[in-house]
Amino acid sequence: MQSNGYIMNLRRDVFQAISDPTRRAILLLLTTQTMTAGAIASNFDTARPTVSKHLQILTECELLNQQQNGREIYYQINANKMKEVADFIEPFRQMWDDRFNKLETVMKNYQSKNKK
Amino acid sequence: MENKTTIDIKEGKQDLLITREFDLPIELLFKAYTEPELLEQWMGTKVIKLENRNHGSYQFETSYNGNVVFKANGTIHEFKPNQKIIRTFEMENMPIGVQLEFLEFEKLTETTSKLNMQVIYKSNEHRELQLKMPFVNGLNMAHDRLQQILTNKN
């Protein structure tokens, strides 16, 4: 991969991280609670090492934080990092774009109706 | 269709800016916000009340299968036809709380116009909640799709 500096690579990694449906599902699971790797894996039919790999990727790009609690490691969402991801804002922007596209269509229909 | 809506969100602040250019004369853009029948069509919600005047108020309601699933209301602070609307907006039973909205309608040409919308939340955290909502919904959909795939595999 061509390097355009550290930040660019980091960003690209974050986008890759959330483009995977399993990793998105993991993030979803962790939006409301912290969980151990075992608890997370029990939600998927995928093999445990595969889930571990996903957790590793999410942790490496700082979307997840690890928290040691006794012998267990708990995973939690790094909200600050999520904010940095443009994708975090994108669904909100998309919602408004859809809404405004509809407004435009509705008003164009109204315009042509009233011209007749 | 190309994306024409931009969202400006500054770190650590409690407001956001939504900007959009429309292929519509300014009068029509403004009408979309003031005629209940038109507003209902693009917002996808029922307009219970809409008083287009200074110190007027409004109420929206959406039902699904006979149940009310969404209720919102607010008061209009200032109403200037084809120029601006300053109003509050609050989704009922939601932790986001009330927000203050400055809607500026700008004429670009005879047939195009622009909407600048500044939304101010009670705090940075309230803004965060608002931004998170569609994101979490998107994740939910991704999760549903994933479960479908998993179910079909079994």
Q: Which candidate from B42, B133, B137 shows the least CB-CB separation from A103?
A: B42
In the predicted structure, residue A8 carries a pLDDT above the cut 50? no
**How many H-runs (helices) and E-runs (strands) does chain A carry?**
6, 3
pLDDT for A4: 35
Query: Does residue B7 carry a pLDDT above 50?
Result: yes
Lowest mean pLDDT among A29-43, B18-32, B67-81: A29-43
pTM: 0.66
Cβ contacts from A onto B, under 8 A: 97
Nearest to B55 by CA among B92, B101, B88, B81: B88
Between B37 and B151, the more confident residue is B37
DSSP A20-57: SHHHHHHHHHTTS--EEHHHHHTT-SS-HHHHHHHHHH
Q: Give yes or no for residue A6 having a pLDDT over 90.
A: no
- C-alpha B24/C-alpha A23 separation (Å) is 42
A51-104 tens-digit pLDDT: 999 999 999 888 899 999 899 999 998 877 776 665 667 778 888 998 999 999
- Residues of chain B found within 8 Å of residue A25, distances taken between Cβ atoms: 139, 142-143, 146
pLDDT at A5: 38
Does position B76 have pLDDT exceeding 90, yes or no? yes
ipTM of this complex: 0.85
Rounded Cα–Cα distance for residues B148 and B37 (Å): 38
d(CA B48, CA B2): 33
Identify the residue whose tokens are 């039973």: B93
Task: Give which of A14, A24, A99 to mutate to test B binding, by max B Cβ within 10 Å.
Answer: A24
| Residue to test with chain B: of A20, A24, A107, most B Cβ within 10 A | A107
Of A87-91, B102-106, B113-117, the least confident: A87-91
Nearest to A104 among B24, B134, B136 (CB): B24
